[in-house]
Structure 1
Amino acid sequence: MVDDVGRHVLPPVTDPPLAHGLKEVGHDLLVRVHWIVRPAVTPATLDAVEAGLRMLRAGGFPLGMAVDALNSLTLFVLGHAAAEVGIGTSSSGPGSPDWLASLDADRYPLLLESVRSGAGVDDAARFTFAVESLLDGFAAQLVRGS
């Protein structure tokens, strides 16, 4: 399974715009990762890392920044996947909208407002926002030459 994910996470390096390519990588990884069990150090995952580093290097990233950017994106996606799996599919379990709606309004007024209004509760929109923010930050770092 680890090899299967590694083979499909990063597409072959073509020539996509950097941000678009990494957004696809992030979304693809999120769809494929349903487990977190051990470091994924297999030929397939190492090939995927190498492909990602080539993409970033081709986009102008120095090697160290490329490694940091790829690791940051990967860790974010894994963390997001773990959090989503942790919530599960129950409509009333801990972390679900129904569960959050039952919280003490005096103690958690902003959380309840978010649940009631729907502000910030779309998992896909949150994932896209975070990936785009990471990519914007990476691009800014590259421009600054950090």
Structure 2
Amino acid sequence: MGEDALLKVMAPVVGQVTSAVLVAAVGSPLSYPDTASYCKAFGLNLKERSSGKHKGKLKITKRGPSVARFYLYFAALRLIGHEPSVARWFAAKTERPGAMAGKQVVELMRKLARALWHHAHGRTFQAEKLFNLSAVAGA
């Protein structure tokens, strides 16, 4: 699949400009063997910094190109605003005690990157399949 065809496939999911930036920044999803390596290219893989006494929190590594994360962040926000099932999931996750909305957006970015890899490999994108709404309390 050529890059033009790939951009046409990804454009309905994240938009034309975002798909062009993602392909330019991290390359084609078709060149990655699995979803984990595609997320790692964005710098969205989780890392825990801890020692023998200190238990650290999970954070993203940010080792990939920041422009790709920037555009993926706004694609995730657009998905929250336009897809009712994503908005319900986001509302249910942020209403939990101690929840931070920013971390939920990063979680959605990771899910969206994995979905883009699957979408580029021929599966259809369905926002409802990004998560299990029945597992989220109050959804």
TM-score, normalising length from structure 1? 0.34
TM-score, normalising length from structure 2? 0.35
Q: Which has the higher helix share?
A: 1
Q: Which has the higher strand share?
A: 2
Larger radius of gyration: 1
